[in-house]
Amino acid sequence: MARDYYEVLGVGRDADEAAVKSAFRRLARELHPDVNAHDPDAEAKFKEAAEAYEVLSDADRRQLYDSYGHEGLKTGGYQPNFGDFGSISDLFSAFFGAGGFDAAFGGGRMRGGAVQGGDVAVAVAIDLADAAHGERVDVAYDARTRCSTCNGNGAKPGTPIETCERCQGAGQLQAVSRTAFGQLVRNVVCDVCGGDGRWPRDPCETCRGDGMVVDKRRVEVEVPAGIADGQRIRVTGRGHAGERGGPNGDLYVVVRVREDERFLRDGSDLVTVVDIPAPLAALGTTVDVPTLDGLVPVEIKAGTQPGEEIRLGGRGMPPLQRGRTGDLRVVVNVTIPRRLTREQREMLETFAGTLTDDNQRGDEGMIAKLKRVLAG
C-alpha cells in the first residue's frame, strides 16, 4: 500500500511549492548515503520521498493526486521509475545531477572549491621486541569530522541556509590596497561565510555553524616487523575530514621504538655485551645471553679476548621490506676480578708465576692491538 505523499514529505495539504521543495531537501539530506550509510532502509525511504516530490512539485500531477489519489496517477500515465538504479548513490546523481544534492539544493557547502582535510600526526611508542615481531597498535587521536547534527552544512536542522550578505554569495571579497605601483586588488576569502557564499541563519548548536566537530577516533594500525624508531605509517583518509566535498586528510602514525637497555641497534644488527670474569674467559664457559626471544645459552671459547664478538646469526632485527634479518652481536667484556680475598690472591700469585709468553695472545701485532683498543 503506497503511503500518502504529503505524509511521506511531512507537509500539509496546503503546502506551497517552496515548502514541498524544502521538505524534500531535508529528507534527501538525511537519507544521503554519505550520511546514512548504515540505515538499510535509506534507499527505499529516499525512493519514496523522490516519488512524492516528483508528484507534489508538479502542478498537474499534484492535482491528479489530490483528486483521485495513487490510482488517479496511474490512469493519468504517471509511473514512478526509481527501481533501475544500481545504488542509492547512482539514484542521487540521477536525481540531482553530477554535483549531487548539495549542488542542486545548496544544502551543503559546495560553493567554494573542495578542500582536502588536513593530515593528523600521532605518535605511538612500542618496545624493541614488538618492533622486531610487528604488532597491531590501537591509536587514539582527535580529528575534525563532519557534524552529524547538521550533516556539515552548519545550519540548525530544518532552518534555511542563506546567501551570505557580506560577499553576496561570491565567497570572496576584494581587498584593495595602495602600493607604489598603484592600486592592488586581491581576492580574499569572505570572513563571514568562510568562502562558502552561504551561511546558516540559525547556526547548528552542536558545531556552532562550523559544520565540523572535533571527534575522538581510534584506529588499529599494523606496525610492520623491522620498523625503526621515528618511521611513519600513513593511513590514507583517516585524517581531518575534507570540506566542501574534498577528500579527507591522512593519518600519520609516528612509531617511537623504546630503548631496550639490553640491546643497541646497529642497522638491522643488535649488539649486546656480556661480562665474563677473566678466569672464565681463559677456561671457556657457557653464558645465557639475552635475545629478543629470551635467554639463549652461548659458548664462550677458552681464551676469548676482551672485545671479541660472537655473532648469533638471524637474532637481530628483520628487514622492513627486502633483505636479510640482522644478527645479534655479543661483545665479550672480560672483567678483571677485584677485592680479592687472601686465599684468592695467593692462588692468583701462584698462577701468575706459571705464566709464559705462550699464554699471551700471539696472533696480533702491536698496531692491531692499538687499533682494537682505540676502536673500543
Nearer to Zn ion, 150 or 300 (CB): 150
Across 197-214, b (16+ Cβ under 10 Å) vs e yields bbbbeebbebbebbbbbe
Stated as kind and residue range, the H or E segment containing 109 is none
For Zn ion, which residue of 23, 131, 147, 276 counts as binding (CB under 5 A)?
A: 147
Q: Is residue 159 involved in binding Zn ion (CB under 5 A)? A: no
Select the span of 101-109, 159-167, 215-223, 244-252 touching Zn ion (CB under 5 A). Answer: 159-167
Interacting positions 206-265 with Zn ion (CB under 5 A): 206-207
Least distance (Å) from Zn ion to the CB of residue 106? Answer: 14
Residue whose CB is less far from Zn ion, 63 or 174: 174
Which CB atom, from 211 or from 316, has the smaller least distance to Zn ion? 211
CB 317 within 8 A of CB 229: no
Q: How far is the CB of 107 from Zn ion (least distance, A)?
A: 13
Smallest separation (angstroms) from Zn ion to the CB of 111: 9
Query: Of 9, 204, 255, 300, which lies in the binding site for Zn ion, with binding defined by CB under 5 A?
Result: 204
Phi-psi region of 265 (alpha: psi -120 to 50; beta: other; left: phi over 0): beta
Q: Is 64 in the site for Zn ion (CB under 5 A)?
A: no
Which range of residues in 135-143, 199-207, 237-245, 274-282 is near Zn ion by CB under 5 A? 199-207
Q: How near is the Cβ of 120 to Zn ion at its closest, in Å?
A: 21
Answer yes or no whether residue 164 interacts with Zn ion by CB under 5 A.
yes
Q: Distance (Å, rounded) from C-alpha 311 to C-alpha 316? A: 10
Q: What are phi and psi of 315, to 5 degrees?
A: -100, 15
Burial state string for 9-48 with b = 16 or more CB within 10 A and e = fewer than 16 = bebeeebeeeebbbbbbbbbbbbbbebbeeeeebbebbbb
Shortest CB 188 distance to Zn ion, Å: 11
Instruction: Write down the least CB distance from residue 85 to Zn ion, Å.
Output: 30
Buried b (16+ CB within 10 A) or exposed e, 124-154: bebebbbbbeebebebebebbbbbebbbbbb
In whole angstroms, give the CA distance from residue 180 to residue 219.
54
Distance CA 303, CA 14 (A): 104
Query: Among 96-104, 158-166, 224-232, 296-304, which window interacts with Zn ion (CB under 5 A)?
Result: 158-166
Q: According to CB under 5 A, which residues from 176 to 195 bind Zn ion?
A: 190, 192-193
C-alpha–C-alpha distance, residues 17 and 47, integer Å: 19
Q: Is 126 in the site for Zn ion (CB under 5 A)?
A: no
User: Nearer Cβ to Zn ion, position 35 or 296?
Assistant: 35
- Near Zn ion by CB under 5 A: residue from 27, 122, 126, 150: 150
C-beta of 62: minimal distance to Zn ion in Å? 33
Contact between 118 and 240 (Cβ < 8 Å): yes
Element (H, E) at 104: helix 100-105
167 binds Zn ion (CB under 5 A): yes
Look at residues 103, 111, 203 and name the one whose alpha carbon lies nearest to residue 159. 203
Interface contacts to Zn ion, rule CB under 5 A = 147, 149-150, 164, 166-167, 190, 192-193, 204, 206-207
